Structure 1
Amino acid sequence: MVLVNEILGQIVQVNRSMTWGSLATLKPYANFLVDDDVERLKKAIDTKGVDEATIVKILGNRTLEQREQIAKNFKKQNNVELEAVLSKKLSGYLENIMITLLKSPTLLDAQVLKDAMKGLGTDEDTLIEILATRSSKELQAIKTVYKQEFQKDLEKDVASEATGRFQKLLLALLKNQREVNSNIINYELIEEDAKSLYAVASQKKNPDFDAWIPILTERSQNHLNRVFKLYKIYCTTDISDTIRKELKGDDEKGFLTLVQCIQNTPEYFADRLHSSMKGLGMRDKILTRLLVSRCEIDLLNIRAEFRKKYGKSLYSTIQADTKGDSQSALLGLCRAEDL
């Protein structure tokens, strides 16, 4: 039998989201003068018909920190919230983009989660997206803001909207117990986890995939990528293929999304962006939210994955599916063409 360490020695760790680092498309505006921006915004808002192009040029080219300063000074000088004024003066898609730009990432996530569970039917794709791609620290902040905004516990709302194994997976993610990445490689635990995953998958009748949940939601991203490599050696099939074969419906969707986010988060977001612009009618809010939430983190990574997977650039795809000032705002966040 081949020694475990020899097997593991052949495993090449590939984790693009970690090795590429933070590759933002939106950088701090070099000549930022908050009072000048506030004055120009006020003038653009008060202009007959509203000067939407100027509003886009300012808010779409400032980082979150700079936008927060603008909003703070706007209220101080005009005794009214900038968000409230823009909601009154703008409409449609452009209004959504500008208002989204003014929200903090944590508040935006909390509101998106609330909307995903509002009314008849649940948006499972959005639930798993947020919970699978946020860090433990971010999830804790989201739960706190959710409680403050809606006077409800996020865990209780999720538990009431989801059922079965999918519910268990979401609630496990909300416990935010995932270990941080470490330079220390625990080969024994890698082997143990890979064997545990394989033991479930190899069960002939009613495999208990609930046993996968603690491993997939508590181990670090780097550790799990090594586990997945070893799992493939044991099982002779990729873990995603096992999920597709053995699970259905929301369970399949939840586990596949989580595994993809662990293996390659930028590719997952590229898929979400592509889906938001696919077919008749764009899912405008998803496109906007993804661009706004990733433009100061890793949108360059996502752009590269989009180009690689779909054979065209994210920039040109947005350009083909949008128009007017909304197009200008979204292209500004995307920033550039990938040839």
Structure 2
Amino acid sequence: MSVSSGRTAPSLIQEILSHLGLANKTAAWGTLGTLRTFLSFTVEKDVQRLLRAITGQGVDHNAIVAVLTNRSREQRQLISRAFQERTQQDLLKSLQAALSGNLEKIVVGLLQPMAQFDAQELRRALKASGSAEDVAMEILATRAPPRLQECLTVYKHDFQVEAEEDIKSETSGTLQDLLLALAKGGRESYSGIIDYNLAEEDVQALQQAEGPSTEGTWVLIFTQRNPEHLIRVFAQYQRYTGQELEEAVRNRFHGNTQVALLSLASVIRNTPLYFADKLHQALQ
């Protein structure tokens, strides 16, 4: 999920949140999030409800929101295909014609395949001033390798250019190095074996990487090591130096590079908390 910096009208936020399938039975549902597989899903009923919502007298915004925000992305794709088969019309285009403004943007995001949505958000972030270190970093750093590879494949297909080429043309310096390294998807996977020697070496390398031309050390460690290893590096760095690694980033780097590294550190420490914080900022 990529949260844009644009403000959404409070009334729309309240409307959407009021329709989310919030868990009210902890023992039965656990912590699955708010947008989840709808257990009583019947694709034909949803198609009929959406059709009535956009062909009746006046667009029924509540019905559209109620259906799309209570179905998983996979279920929404089934609805789209069934709608096409029944009406010979594209559901996304039909809803775009019926809606406008922020609600239209949200519906487009809900109905797009995830790889296409990520590719478009990545392209927009790279082409927009001041968002590569935010949205682009989020997409490249939080997607699992198969999903990231699918996103990059769609990116090349839709825009006729490799994402790496856009990164090279639209960014520079350490931020460019970070994004290129993440785009390669070369982060190590956790083997279950704790490498104490490597953690010690990484801490020492980061402590010594304070002079000119040492940014590559930070890029390599932040983008290649697995999160479990990095969490131990963060803890050990604090024990050795008396300060959190994020404080060292603030002292060592500036501008978009600092923002990118701090975001990456936040993702590594606790990815769900990172997204919760992004959502909280958006709703403010």
Question: Shorter-chain TM-score: which interval?
Answer: 0.7 to 0.9
- Calculate percent identity across the aligned residue pairs: 41
Q: Counterpart of 1:26 in structure 2: which amino acid?
A: L
In the alignment, which residue of structure 2 is the partner of 1:197?
206
In the alignment, which residue of structure 2 is the partner of 1:83?
92
Among candidates 219, 222, 231, match of residue 225 of structure 1: 231
In the alignment, which residue of structure 1 is the partner of 2:177?
168
| Post-superposition CA distance 1:141-196 (Å, at most 9, x none) | 11111011111100000111111111111111111001122321111111111111
Contact 1:137 1:176 in 2 (8 A): no
| Post-superposition CA distance 1:219-272 (Å, at most 9, x none) | 110011011111112222111000011110011111111111101112222222
In the alignment, which residue of structure 1 is the partner of 2:241?
235
Among candidates 251, 258, 264, match of residue 257 of structure 2: 251
**Aligned-CA RMSD value:** 1.7
TM-fit CA distance, 1:273 = 1.9
- Counterpart Cα distance in 2 of 1:252 and 1:22: 33
Matches within 5 A, 1:39-50: 39-50=48-59
Note the residue ranges of structure 2 that are not aligned, 5 or more in a row. Answer: 1-29
- Counterpart Cα distance in 2 of 1:277 and 1:56: 18
Matches within 5 A, 1:72-151: 72-118=81-127, 121-124=129-132, 125-151=134-160
In the alignment, which residue of structure 2 is the partner of 1:276?
282
Number of equivalences: 254
- Counterpart Cα distance in 1 of 2:236 and 2:213: 20
Cα distance change on mapping 1:22 and 1:104 into 2, 3 Å: farther
Contact 1:159 1:167 in 2 (8 A): yes
Note the residue ranges of structure 1 that are not aligned, 5 or more in a row. Answer: 1-20, 279-339
SS in 1 for 2:127: coil
Contact 2:145 2:185 in 1 (8 A): yes
- Counterpart Cα distance in 2 of 1:27 and 1:110: 23
TM-fit CA distance, 1:274 = 2.6
SS in 2 for 1:117: helix
- Counterpart Cα distance in 1 of 2:141 and 2:117: 16
Cα distance change on mapping 1:22 and 1:189 into 2, 3 Å: farther
Task: Give me the TM-score of the superposition, normalised by structure 1.
Answer: 0.71
